Every structure is written in C-alpha cells, then in structure tokens.
Amino acid sequence: MERIVTVVPEAGLHARPASQLVRAANGFDAEVTLEAIDSDAGPASAASMLGVTGLNVKQGERVRIVAEGPDAEAALDAVEAILTASVEGGDGKSGSERDGDGVVDS
C-alpha cells in the first residue's frame, strides 16, 4: 500500500515531526518507508530517525509513504496524520482543520 502526501509541518521532516513519525512507524507490525518525491532522496525506513531526517524534506514537498505488513493501512494512516498536521500553533490541528475545507492538498 502507498500514499503520496504533502508535508505540512513548518519544520518539514526534522526535529519533532520526525521523532513523532519514527515513534508511530515503530508502533505497527508493518515495514514503512518514505521517499522524497521532489528530490533524489530515499527511500528510507520510517523506523529510523537518521533515515527520516536524512531525507531533508521541507514543508510543501511531497513524500511517498509505502507500508507492507499486517498493520499497513493503520501505519499509513498514522504516518499520514503526522505529515499533514500543522504543529506551528501547537494545537495538533491539521492544515485542513485550520482552513475548514476538509481537504489536505497533495
């Protein structure tokens, strides 16, 4: 299974969002990888902090999430939620919740 999402956090895949993503990816019975579509980086294991931050993905860039295993769909949902959540305000709301349109642009 795979999905393509646009990274919303202002910091991109660095610091807090990367830490949350790695923690989430390790919580499922699934192999999760990320690939930066807008650059030549990846794929990298979503279970590795070094791998995730090494992608150097910035806000607004697209990422392909691939998951395989019994919990693949749940892992995709969790990783997508982190990548599409705005953390600037610290309220945990996604970009779609902020602007009210219910759609995360990708």
For residue 85, give the 3-state DSSP assignment: strand
Sheet holding 2-6, edge to edge: 2-6, 62-68, 31-36, 44-45
4 carries an active-site annotation: no
Higher pLDDT, 53 or 92: 53
Chain segment 65-106, per-residue pLDDT in tens: 999 999 999 999 999 999 999 864 444 444 444 344 344 443
Domains and CATH numbers, the chain: 2-90 (3.30.1340.10)
Q: What is the pTM of this model?
A: 0.79
Q: Hunting for tokens 């607004």 — which residue is that?
A: 60
Residue tagged active-site, from 14, 58, 62, 64: 14
How far, in Å, CA of 54 to CA of 44, rounded?
8
CA distances from 7 to 11, 29, 32, 65, 105 (A): 9, 24, 17, 11, 10
